[in-house]
């Protein structure tokens, strides 16, 4: 054989083998590389609501950095770290003694309770309340001003950064806590009737008084800290009238999927849609703090959820009907007039 040709063959096969080797190396890397390494703290896919202790899983986790741990404390012990009990008066952003995790259960990881799993990837997103694309920081401040009846956290504050860091971390730092991640609340079938406050009261007394109290004041922890074991549902220390939980359809969906606590879950609720609706109307029939400047909400008024209790609206239904229903006529009006499909 021509020695030149021989050399060419040798060179080519060398090149070929090097290429194959490279491809194999890359394949091996891709196969074993995990962009979201999970901490092996718990093996179970499905963790029982009663058996996992976020405090333990997060605060004692050497792989979670201190910003994440700070974020956890801010959302789980909000009154102490960003509310009325904060040592530094400048850190008292929340106006009530609730914690974020009173509504976003299990440290914001529980499906069916507007969980924060995957939340930072869902933002920025369009928000009708502001009629613009909003950031995760703005969404958090929405709950600060309404659910927490307080003021905004400065967007670049250490507190805000810590909360966002925590939200990012629960996605990858914790083992999958739910086999199914559900965004928001699973919808309820909207009842044809209006809220019946007599039925609502009966359901409340049967299913809720035990923990939240006959006066809706909740029960404080026994450690003298003024924080809650069972949070209040109405009165001065509750969410304000601009909060999502003040809309009967939103509250009914939360309650159906989460209350009574430890008895109900999204895949095994206790109350029927209609029971949740009546009791949601009942807890929202009482006095609570008033949000200022609510008329500025929803610059495009036709995007207002039908159960928003405060005007102005782009329809002629009464304030009473927006608060208690019946909702099907309002929903039908928006469908025929604007082609809008309203679910809440």
Tell me if 259 contacts ligand HEC by CB under 6 A: yes
**Side-chain-facing half-sphere of 307: CA atoms under 13 Å:** 26
Interface with ligand HEC (CB under 6 A), residue from 47, 208, 249, 306? 208
Tell me if 326 contacts ligand HEC by CB under 6 A: no
Q: What angle, 0 to 180 degrees and rounded to 10, lies between the N-to-C axes of helices 248-258 and 273-283?
A: 120
Residue 140's CB is within 10 A of a number of other CB atoms, namely: 23
Helices (H), 174-306: 197-207, 209-212, 248-258, 273-283
Cross-strand partners of 134 = 125
Helix (H, G, I), strand (E, B) or coil at 227: coil
Interface with ligand HEC (CB under 6 A), residue from 68, 98, 117, 188? 98
In whole angstroms, the minimum distance from the beta carbon of 167 to ligand HEC comes to: 7
Rounded Cα gap, residues 86 and 23, in angstroms: 57
Nearest to 95, CA basis, from 149, 25, 157: 149
Interface with ligand HEC (CB under 6 A), residue from 279, 303, 306, 330? 279
Tell me if 274 contacts ligand HEC by CB under 6 A: no
Would you say 64 or 139 has its CB closer to ligand HEC? 139
Rounded Cα gap, residues 307 and 249, in angstroms: 6
Tell me if 231 contacts ligand HEC by CB under 6 A: yes
Tell me if 109 contacts ligand HEC by CB under 6 A: no
Tell me if 212 contacts ligand HEC by CB under 6 A: yes
Tell me if 157 contacts ligand HEC by CB under 6 A: no
Q: What is the binding site for ligand HEC (CB under 6 A)?
A: 75, 78, 98, 100-105, 114, 116, 119, 139-140, 143-144, 147-148, 163, 183-185, 207-208, 210-212, 230-233, 239, 243-245, 250, 254-255, 259-262, 279, 283
């Amino acid at each position: 054989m021509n020695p030149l040709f021989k050399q060419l063959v040798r060179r080519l096969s060398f090149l070929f083998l090097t290429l194959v080797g490279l491809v194999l190396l890359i394949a091996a890397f891709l196969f074993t590389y995990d962009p979201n390494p999970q901490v092996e703290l718990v093996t179970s896919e499905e963790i029982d609501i009663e058996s996992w202790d976020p405090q333990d899983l997060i605060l004692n986790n050497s792989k979670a950095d201190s910003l994440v741990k700070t974020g956890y404390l801010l959302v789980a012990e909000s009154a102490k770290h960003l509310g009325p009990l904060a040592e530094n008066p400048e850190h008292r952003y929340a106006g009530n003694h609730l914690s974020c995790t009173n509504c976003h259960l299990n440290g914001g990881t529980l499906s069916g309770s507007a969980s924060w799993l995957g939340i930072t990837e869902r933002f920025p997103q369009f928000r009708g309340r502001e009629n613009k694309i909003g950031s995760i920081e703005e969404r958090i401040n929405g709950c600060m001003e309404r659910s927490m009846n307080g003021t905004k956290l400065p967007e670049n504050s250490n507190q805000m950064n810590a909360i966002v860091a925590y939200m990012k971390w629960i996605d990858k730092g914790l083992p999958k806590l739910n086999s199914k991640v559900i965004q928001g609340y699973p919808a309820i079938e909207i009842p044809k009737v209006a809220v019946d406050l007599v039925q609502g009261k009966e359901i409340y007394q049967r299913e809720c008084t035990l923990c939240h109290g006959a006066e809706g004041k909740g029960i404080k922890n026994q450690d003298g800290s003024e924080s809650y074991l069972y949070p209040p549902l109405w009165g001065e220390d509750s969410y304000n009238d601009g909060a999502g939980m003040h809309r009967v359809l939103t509250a009914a969906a939360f309650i159906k999927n989460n209350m009574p606590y430890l008895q109900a879950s999204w895949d095994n609720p206790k109350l029927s849609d209609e029971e949740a609706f009546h009791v949601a109307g009942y807890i929202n029939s009482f006095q609570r703090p008033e949000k200022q400047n609510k008329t500025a909400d929803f610059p495009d008024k036709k995007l207002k959820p039908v159960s928003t209790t405060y005007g102005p609206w782009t329809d002629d239904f009464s304030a009473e009907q927006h608060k208690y229903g019946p909702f099907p006529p309002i929903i039908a009006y928006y469908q025929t007039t604007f082609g809008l499909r309203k679910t809440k």
